[in-house]
């Protein structure tokens, strides 16, 4: 073992490099090197050269590195299944006790200083936090891969617009209704499917998300098809956030006798959304410590063991699935009212993949990670506009790398242990 | 009546292609129990490769149909096979002993990567190929006509030959025997001296090659495609695999034909806008009522 570590087998490194270069040439050569122009093409062999060169150099360095001592150490770390959660000693005071109030305070004063642009970006970030938290319960805690999460999001968003259009319901009545509606859809879909092997759920939910989108696109008489529909703004105890109220409503600035501020609608949405996100965070925090939350995680780790202990696996999974769906429904209502407009292009599979990327990068089951990842993945594209074309590519590569490197996410989940009572043998 | 037969012909053509793609899903699922979400993207890549090969061949002055199609098939199948190999090596092999969700998520990542990579390198616009095989067969049925283009006949013939070749390979060659052994019991096959890692790689290559054949054929028929084309076809082929019983080769072919025909009949008789909804609903319904499919065996979980 020791002499294996010291000597570097240069021949193997070279063979690896040449093989990687050859495969890269075959794989990237045609697609990157020959750009179709109608029935004709333009050669771009310079790009192939760059890619193949990069792949070969990367493979060379990797191959060399893996034969050194630190490389061996790295490989051993991969072999170890870095599983489970970290357990802190009882009575451990988390740093979050100080960070959390500061963050909440910062979030509360933000609307007084932010301009409209920043506010809209943060609202979008919060919507994705909500979606990420919902999917995190389904994927991270219960271990069910849901690829049609965007379907429940669409149910929430279209619930608001359709409820407004056809039933005259406003933001506040649709908020709970959309959650119920999405949860109900989740139950209809989940109940039969959750009895079966887990992988099928992924494909069924994928189909479900597409069905929702296709119906929204094609049922023109009901949903106005690809042209989309307008969504109502929220009201504050019946007061509207427009400069002039529509048919008989009262705008807030006339009621309070203050000057009109066009940001007020977004400040209001932001405040309500923030409160809901905090509530969902708290509920999720409590749920993971309740029997049902423990059951989710247990079922994720070993389904057969749980079933033989007498857990009803369908009901436990269904509860996670429905809670996740209702969170997405709420997020959908906020999305619709924030945009003032919805159309089916907001609910493509890519959106589901983006939410999944948030959960995967944040760490399955980790709340803090999901919040950070949601903000990073929604705000980073705003900052890096020139890389917009490569955004999806980056997400994809990150998802693969994360699965190989740290399938449980960047942030390790820690839990505080319970002290045994005095006089009880350990 | 003529509509029915016309849609039957269209459905059989489409269905044979679904069957070819479904083979990729079913073989991978059979051997490592994983849904290869990136398989639809492999099909999309092969459509691009076919168009590139046709463009380059006609640039070189090759203009006889058999030569173009033969060159395109060989080129596309080989390169797409290497794609299958590379994807397996990069995204799935390191995860062989990981959690159950990890390969699924990695597959979605690869699928996003492939879509975006093609979009960046080839542009987002729709691409197409010229019509290579002219001519239509007109058969009178009752008081109407059924039109069968020569392209459709070619597709049916090529798909059947492809399926027969694969069946022969799996049933009668040494590699096929090793594949079946690995599918039945991976650990035991390892003990008996089969390099199962290599067999798994071969299965990915075979699946990708079948997808490539499908990609060439479907591109010949429709003539247009874009970087997003793999997504819908991928789910439909998966539906076909599940319909026939995932893990079963004849099932995949049968499922493809049934799905293709029923989808064509639906769009001919009911509503063409909702044909995708029809296929996806069929998928959901099969998974709910007969998850083992038509020819599959019910799954038994062993501890």
Name the residue with tokens 């960046």. Answer: B120
Inter-chain contact A211–B280, Cβ cutoff 8 Å? yes
pLDDT for the residue numbered A3: 47
pLDDT at A20 over 60: yes
In tens, the pLDDT along A187-221 reads: 888 877 777 666 778 888 888 888 888 888 888 88
pLDDT for the residue numbered A147: 86
- Between A138 and A194, the more confident residue is A138
Query: A29 with A134, same domain?
Result: no
Q: Which of B52, B101, B114, B296 should be substituted to probe chain A, the one whose Cβ sees the most A Cβ atoms within 10 Å?
A: B101
**Burial (0-12, 13-18, 19+ Cβ within 10 Å), A182:** buried
- As given in the structure block, the two tokens for residue A51 are 């890619």
Alpha helices in A237-390, H assignment, sequence order:
252-256, 264-287, 291-301, 303-308, 313-339, 349-362, 367-383
At A381, which CATH number? 1.10.3470
Flag whether A418 is in a domain.
no
Domain that holds residue A6: 2-72
What residues of chain B score a pLDDT lower than 70?
297-303
Flag whether A89 is in a domain.
no
Inter-chain contact B115–A349, Cβ cutoff 8 Å? no
Query: A101 with A63, same domain?
Result: no
Question: What DSSP letter does each residue of A14-56 carry, written as one string?
Answer: HHHHHHHHHHHHHHHHHHHHEEEETTEEEE-HHHHHHHHHHHH
Say yes or no: A397 contacts chain B, CB-CB below 8 A.
yes
Is residue B128 helix, strand or coil?
A: strand
Q: Which residues of B touch A214 (CB under 8 A)?
A: 274, 276-277, 280
Query: A102 with A40, same domain?
Result: no
Question: Taking residues A14-24, what's their average pLDDT?
Answer: 85
Q: Which residues of B touch A306 (CB under 8 A)?
A: none
Q: Which of A40, A72, A104 is the last residue of a domain?
A: A72
- As given in the structure block, the two tokens for residue A348 are 């493509």
Query: A256 with A186, same domain?
Result: yes
Inter-chain contact A403–B109, Cβ cutoff 8 Å? yes
Q: Which of A125, A161, A142 has its CA nearest to residue A201?
A: A142
pLDDT at A328 over 90: yes
Query: A332 with A377, same domain?
Result: yes
Lowest mean pLDDT among A134-138, A380-384, B27-31, B161-165: A380-384
Query: A265 with A132, same domain?
Result: yes
What CA–CA distance (Å, rounded) separates A108 from A275? 10
pLDDT at A4 over 70: no
What CA–CA distance (Å, rounded) separates A378 from A130? 13
pLDDT at A82 over 80: no
Flag whether A53 is in a domain.
yes
Chain B nearest C-alpha distance from A311 (Å): 17
pLDDT for the residue numbered A2: 44
Flag whether A84 is in a domain.
no
Q: Which residues of A touch B113 (CB under 8 A)?
A: 392-393, 396-397, 400
Inter-chain contact A196–B291, Cβ cutoff 8 Å? yes
- Domains, chain B: 2-289 (1.10.3470)
Inter-chain contact B112–A202, Cβ cutoff 8 Å? no
In chain A, the number of structural domains is 2
In tens, the pLDDT along B259-293 reads: 998 888 888 888 777 888 888 888 878 877 777 77
Inter-chain contact B108–A356, Cβ cutoff 8 Å? yes
Flag whether A159 is in a domain.
yes
Region of B36 on the Ramachandran plot (φ > 0 left; ψ -120 to 50 alpha; else beta): beta
pLDDT at A327 over 90: yes
Q: Which are the contacts of B162, defined by CB distance < 8 A and separation ≥ 6?
A: B20, B210, B213
Q: Which residues of B touch A314 (CB under 8 A)?
A: none
Inter-chain contact B35–A199, Cβ cutoff 8 Å? yes
- As given in the structure block, the two tokens for residue A411 are 């942030």
In tens, the pLDDT along A273-306 reads: 888 998 998 888 888 888 888 888 888 888 888 8
Q: Which of B116, B131, B205, B216 should be substituted to probe chain A, the one whose Cβ sees the most A Cβ atoms within 10 Å?
A: B116
pLDDT for the residue numbered A189: 84
Query: A32 with A103, same domain?
Result: no
Average pLDDT value for chain A: 80
Flag whether A88 is in a domain.
no
Question: In three state form, how does the secondary structure of A210-265 look?
Answer: HHHHHHHHHCHHHHCHHHCEECCCCCECCEECCCCCCCCCEEHHHHHCCCCCCCHH
Q: Which of A72, A103, A129 is the last residue of a domain?
A: A72
pLDDT for the residue numbered B298: 63
Q: Which residues of B touch A200 (CB under 8 A)?
A: 242, 287, 291
pLDDT at A247 over 70: no
At what angle are helices B65-87 and B196-222 packed, to 10 degrees? 140
pLDDT at A75 over 80: no
Question: Taking residues A218-227, what's their average pLDDT?
Answer: 81
Q: Which are the contacts of A153, defined by CB distance < 8 A and separation ≥ 6?
A: A131, A328, A329, A331, A332, A335, A347, A351
Query: A220 with A291, same domain?
Result: yes
Inter-chain contact B109–A396, Cβ cutoff 8 Å? yes
Q: Which of B74, B280, B291, B300 should be substituted to probe chain A, the one whose Cβ sees the most A Cβ atoms within 10 Å?
A: B280
Tell me what percent of the residues of chain A surpass a pLDDT of 90: 8
Q: Which of A41, A72, A103 is the last residue of a domain?
A: A72
pLDDT at A1 over 60: no
Confidence of residue A6 (pLDDT cuts 50, 70, 90): low
Q: Which of A21, A24, A34 should be substituted to probe chain B, the one whose Cβ sees the most B Cβ atoms within 10 Å?
A: A34
Query: A130 with A45, same domain?
Result: no
**Cβ atoms B3, B147 nearer than 8 A:** no
Query: A178 with A324, same domain?
Result: yes
Chain A nearest C-alpha distance from B154 (Å): 22
Q: Which residues of A touch B280 (CB under 8 A)?
A: 207-208, 210-211, 214
**Cβ atoms A130, A276 nearer than 8 A:** yes
Say yes or no: A66 contacts chain B, CB-CB below 8 A.
no
Query: A122 with A60, same domain?
Result: no
Lowest mean pLDDT among A167-171, A315-319, A380-384: A380-384
Name the residue with tokens 């030959």. Answer: B161
What CA–CA distance (Å, rounded) separates A290 from A269? 31
Whole-number Cα distances in Å, A11 to A8, A54, A63, A69, B175: 9, 20, 11, 18, 30
Q: Which residues of A touch B103 (CB under 8 A)?
A: 403
Q: Which residues of B touch A218 (CB under 8 A)?
A: 273-274, 277
Cα torsion A53, A54, A57, A62: sign: negative
Please report the ipTM that was assigned to this predicted complex: 0.82
Stretch 199-258 of chain A: residues touching chain B, C-beta under 8 Å: 199-200, 202-204, 206-208, 210-211, 214-215, 218
Model pTM? Answer: 0.84
What CA–CA distance (Å, rounded) separates A87 from A356? 27
Chain A nearest C-alpha distance from B136 (Å): 23
What CA–CA distance (Å, rounded) separates A41 from A278? 54
- As given in the structure block, the two tokens for residue A124 are 């979008």
What CA–CA distance (Å, rounded) separates A266 from A111? 9
Q: Which of B154, B265, B47, B238 has its CA nearest to residue A30?
A: B47
Burial per residue of B275-296, b for 16 or more beta-carbon CB atoms within 10 angstroms, e otherwise: bbbbbbebbbebbbeebbbbbb
- As given in the structure block, the two tokens for residue A227 are 């042209």
Chain A residue closest in CA terms to B130: A39
**Burial (0-12, 13-18, 19+ Cβ within 10 Å), B200:** buried
Question: Taking residues A85-94, what's their average pLDDT?
Answer: 70
In tens, the pLDDT along B121-166 reads: 888 788 878 877 777 777 777 777 778 888 888 888 888 898 889 8
Flag whether A232 is in a domain.
yes
pLDDT for the residue numbered A358: 86
Eight-state DSSP code of residue B298: P
What CA–CA distance (Å, rounded) separates A337 from A307? 43
Flag whether A421 is in a domain.
no
Query: A283 with A326, same domain?
Result: yes
Measured in degrees and rounded to the nearest 5, phi and psi for residue A322 equal -75, -40
**Cβ atoms A348, A339 nearer than 8 A:** no
């Amino acid at each position: 073992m020791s002499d294996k570590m010291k000597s570097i087998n240069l021949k193997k490194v070279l063979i690896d490099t040449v093989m990687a270069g050859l495969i890269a040439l075959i794989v990237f050569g045609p697609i990157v090197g020959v750009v179709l122009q109608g029935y004709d093409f333009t050669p771009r062999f310079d790009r192939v050269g760059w890619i193949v060169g990069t792949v070969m150099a990367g493979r060379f360095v990797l191959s060399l590195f893996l034969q050194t001592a630190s490389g061996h150490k790295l490989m051993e770390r991969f072999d170890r299944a870095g599983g489970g959660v970290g357990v802190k000693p009882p009575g451990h005071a988390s740093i979050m006790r100080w960070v959390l109030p500061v963050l909440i305070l910062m979030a509360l004063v933000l609307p007084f200083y932010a301009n409209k642009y920043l506010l809209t970006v943060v609202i979008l970030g919060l919507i994705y936090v909500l979606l990420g938290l919902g999917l995190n319960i389904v994927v991270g805690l219960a271990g069910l891969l849901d690829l049609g999460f965007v379907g429940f999001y669409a149910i929430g968003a279209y619930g608001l617009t359709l409820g407004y259009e056809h039933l005259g319901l406003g933001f506040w009545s649709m908020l709970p209704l959309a959650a119920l509606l999405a949860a109900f859809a989740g139950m209809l879909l989940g109940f039969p499917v959750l009895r079966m092997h887990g992988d099928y759920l992924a494909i069924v939910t994928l189909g479900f998300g597409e069905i929702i989108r296709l119906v929204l696109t094609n049922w023109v008489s009901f949903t106005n098809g690809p042209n989309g529909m307008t969504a109502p703004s929220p009201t504050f105890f019946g007061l509207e956030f427009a400069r002039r109220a529509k048919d008989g409503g009262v705008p807030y600035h006339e009621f309070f006798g203050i000057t009109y501020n066009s940001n007020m609608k977004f400040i209001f949405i932001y405040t309500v959304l923030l409160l809901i996100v905090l509530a969902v965070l708290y509920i999720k925090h409590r749920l993971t410590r309740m029997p049902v939350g423990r059951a989710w995680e247990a079922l994720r780790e070993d389904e057969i063991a749980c079933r033989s202990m007498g857990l009803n696996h369908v009901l436990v999974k269904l509860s996670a699935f429905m809670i996740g769906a209702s969170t997405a429904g709420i997020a959908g209502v906020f999305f619709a009212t924030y945009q003032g407009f919805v159309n089916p292009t907001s609910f493509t599979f890519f959106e589901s993949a983006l939410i999944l990327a948030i959960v995967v990068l944040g760490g399955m089951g980790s709340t803090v990670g999901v919040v950070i990842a949601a903000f990073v993945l929604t705000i980073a594209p705003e900052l890096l506009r020139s890389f917009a074309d490569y955004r999806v590519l980056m997400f994809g590569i990150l998802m693969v790398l994360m699965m190989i490197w740290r399938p449980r996410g960047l942030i390790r989940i820690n839990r505080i242990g319970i002290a045994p009572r005095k006089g009880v043998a350990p | 009546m003529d509509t029915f037969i016309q849609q039957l012909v269209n459905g059989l053509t489409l269905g044979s292609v679904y069957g070819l793609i479904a083979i990729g899903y079913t073989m991978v699922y059979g051997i490592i129990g994983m849904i290869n979400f990136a398989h639809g993207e492999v099909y999309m890549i092969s459509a691009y490769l076919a168009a590139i090969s046709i463009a380059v061949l006609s640039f070189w002055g090759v203009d006889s149909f058999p030569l173009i199609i033969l060159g395109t098939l060989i080129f596309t199948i080989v390169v797409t096979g290497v794609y299958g190999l590379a994807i397996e090596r990069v995204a799935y092999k390191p995860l062989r002993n990981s959690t159950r969700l990890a390969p699924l998520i990695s597959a979605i990542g690869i699928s996003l990567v492939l879509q975006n990579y093609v979009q960046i390198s080839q542009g987002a616009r729709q691409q197409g190929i010229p019509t290579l095989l002219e001519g239509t067969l007109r058969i009178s049925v009752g008081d109407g006509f059924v039109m069968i283009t020569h392209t459709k006949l070619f597709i049916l013939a090529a798909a059947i030959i492809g399926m027969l070749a694969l069946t022969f390979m799996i049933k009668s060659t040494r590699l096929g025997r090793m594949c079946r052994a690995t599918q039945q019991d991976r650990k035991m096959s390892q003990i008996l001296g089969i390099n199962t890692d290599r067999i798994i790689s071969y299965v990915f290559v075979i699946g990708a090659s079948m997808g490539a054949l499908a990609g060439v054929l479907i591109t010949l028929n429709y003539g247009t495609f874009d970087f997003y084309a793999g997504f819908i076809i991928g789910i439909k082929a998966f539906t076909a695999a599940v319909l026939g019983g995932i893990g079963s080769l004849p099932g995949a072919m049968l499922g493809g034909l049934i799905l293709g025909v029923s989808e064509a009949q639906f769009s001919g008789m009911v509503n063409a806008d909702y044909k995708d909804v029809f296929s996806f609903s069929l998928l959901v319904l099969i998974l709910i009522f007969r998850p083992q499919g038509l020819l599959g065996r019910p799954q038994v979980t062993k501890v």
